[in-house]
Amino acid sequence: MSEAANYGFDTLQIHAGAKPDPATGARQTPIYQTTAYVFRDADHAAALFNLQEVGFIYSRLTNPTVAVLQERIATLEGGVGAVCCSSGHAAQIMALFPLMGPGCNVVASTRLYGGTVTQFSQTIKRFGWSAKFVDFDDPEAVAAAIDENTRAVFGESVANPGGYVTDIRSIADVADAAGVPLIIDNTSATPYLCNPIAHGATLVVHSTTKYLTGNGTVTGGVIVDSGKFDWSANDKFPSLSQPEPAYHGLKFHETFGALAFTFHGIAIGLRDLGMTMNPQAAHYTLMGIETLSLRMERHCENAKKVAAWLEQDERVDYVTYAGLPSSPYFDRAEAQYPKGTGGLFTFAVKGGYDACVKLVNALEIFSHVANLGDTRSLIIHSASTTHRQLTPEQQEAAGAGANVVRVSIGIENAEDLIADLDQALSKATA
């Protein structure tokens, strides 16, 4: 596609990064199921390994099918490049990897997916990194938490599980003032509903497992690089600004400019961490993205109907959907996400923990799974599953208390979803 053409989102989600296969004329992007690629000659091989030429070496690093997906997601997010990897959790580590070092910290929102909280509060300690958790509704507290060892600020655009909406611009201003990048997990909103880069984010991560693929078939992750951060402005990011011994002193930012983070993610991150996306997964995700806008419109439409019905039901204590006028984040959502706030939210069931368990067990259309963003409607009791490893206080802070269930509203008939919830609530609260 012509880079100068100002195509719309629906066109880009089908065509960006792809063209007919030059060997066969195949219209759909082929699955290049290969581990390695034949070099033209010895000089060509040397140029690829020296990062003097862009091409394919080995599928742990680069693969033609994955490359199309990277370009498509980068285009939809308004970034200059992207690196796909094996899962959303891998994407988070890959995003932090060039930035952090022993003794460094990341300032993170208190409202994050439970697995992310565990990864940041426990697992990254093994690298000598640490995390500070702060309420992102208080930008001054975020600013106060940033110190000389902070290397990134991390939040979610629409938080999982509670549907909390981050004011990305206000947090981006804080990060900019401190000279550190803002990383936004845009999994729940998708680029159709929100472009964090347009609101000031430096990097965007996704679990492509969720809405981008949309069919619950494969896991994957991606890091999108805005290309706007000056990695050489200070000495905080030596992996990007200082000589890299493995490439004979090459400086990534000096050499690759706006694409420094992207090239580092491939040449160092995938090379050494090996968190590679396989071409089959990339193919499924490419097919899913072709209908992203159509699915997100239905997800939002259905979620608004279901949330409104739940809110007026006497068996429900409260609903967290930001698309409801009663939500404290309604105005923020309207301004930041004019197309809708997605299909993810929670609601509290009268009767607490036991009632939530009964509800989950009684549902027929909703699937009880540890996933979200599927075409099918999904439900989970976070306190006993995805957030089970957290303390009660952390569960409450994350919006996953004992009396709360998370729903990911699919694209079925909304009336059928409401009827299913109605019969299950009757059994749960009888």
Residues 89 and 130 in one domain: yes
Q: Are residues 183 and 332 in the same domain?
A: no
Q: Are residues 269 and 313 in the same domain?
A: no
Is 40 a member of any domain?
yes
Q: Which two tokens stand for residue 397?
A: 């802070």
Helices (H) and strands (E) in the chain, counts: 18, 12
Residue 257 belongs to a domain = yes
The vertex-190 CA angle with 184 and 196, nearest 5°, equals 35
Helix (H, G, I), strand (E, B) or coil at 345: strand
Within-domain flag for 1: no
Task: Give 265-293 as a DSSP string.
Answer: IIIIIIHHH--PPPHHHHHHHHHHHTTHH
Contact 192, 162 (CB under 8 A): no
**Same domain, yes or no, for 237 and 370?**
no
Cα separation, 228 vs 95, in Å, equals 15
Residue 2 belongs to a domain: no
Q: What's the angle, vertex CA 277, arms to CA 276 and CA 283, rounded to 5?
A: 160
| CA 336 from centroid of its chain's CA atoms | 17
Antiparallel, parallel or unpaired: β 221-225 and 150-156: unpaired
CATH of the domain at 149: 3.40.640.10
pLDDT tens digits, one per residue of 1-56 = 555 468 999 999 999 999 998 888 999 999 999 999 999 999 999 999 999 999 99
Kindly state whether residue 372 falls inside one of the protein's structural domains: yes
Same domain (yes/no): 188, 332: no
> For residue 5, what pLDDT is reported?
63
Which domain-ending residue is among 258, 288, 318? 288
Last residue of a domain, one of 288, 305, 333: 288
Comparing CA positions, the residue from 326, 305, 319 lying closest to residue 413 is 305
| Same domain membership, residue 215 and residue 160 | yes
Residue 98, preceding bond cis, omega within 30 degrees?
no
Whether 320 is in a domain gets the answer yes
pLDDT tens-digit profile of 312-359?
999 999 999 999 999 999 999 999 999 999 999 999 999 998 999 999
Burial of 209 (0-12, 13-18, 19+ CB in 10 A): buried
Q: How far is residue 52 CA from its own chain's centroid?
A: 31
- Judge if 270 and 381 occupy the same domain: no
CATH number at residue 410: 3.90.1150.10
Domain of 229 in residue numbering reads as 9-288
Q: Is the pLDDT higher at 392 or at 59? A: 59
- Side chain identity, residue 91: A
Q: How many domains in the chain?
A: 2
- Are 269 and 298 contained in the same domain? no
User: CB under 8 Å to 159, separation ≥6 — which residues?
Assistant: 109, 111, 112, 113, 165, 166, 188, 398, 399
- Tokens 């006028």 belong to which residue? 325
Same-domain check for residues 302 and 250 = no
For residue 218, being part of any structural domain is answered with yes
> Does one domain contain both 40 and 57?
yes
Question: Concatenated DSSP letters for 216-267?
Answer: S----EEEEE-S---TTSSSS-HHHHS-BGGGTTB-HHHHHGGGHHHHHIII
Sheet with 182-185, side-by-side order of all strands: 81-85, 221-225, 203-207, 182-185, 150-156, 105-109, 130-134
pTM of the model: 0.94
Residue 395's pLDDT band (boundaries 50, 70, 90)? confident
Whose structure tokens read 């206080």?
A: 393
280 part of a folded domain: yes
Domain termination residue (choose one: 288, 304, 329): 288
The three-point CA angle 313-315-316 to 5° equals 75
Burial of 418 (0-12, 13-18, 19+ CB in 10 A): middle
Comparing 382 with 404, which gets the higher pLDDT? 404
Q: Is the pLDDT of residue 86 over 70?
A: yes
Q: Are 321 and 307 in contact (CB under 8 A)?
A: yes
The pair of three-digit structure tokens given for residue 68, joined into one six-digit string: 């199309």
Provide the pLDDT for residue 4: 47
Residues 37, 161 within the same domain: yes
Nearest to residue 155, comparing CAs of 123, 121, 107?
107
* Residue 21 confidence (pLDDT): 86
Per-residue pLDDT band for 388 (boundaries 50, 70, 90) equals confident
Torsion of CA 368, 371, 372, 373, to 10 degrees: -120
Which residue is associated with the tokens 């100002």? 6
pLDDT tier for residue 144 given thresholds of 50, 70 and 90: very high
Does one domain contain both 159 and 179? yes
Which of 61, 336, 380 has its CA nearest to residue 186? 336
CA 165 to mean position of chain CA atoms: 14
Taking residues 53-80, what's their average pLDDT? 96
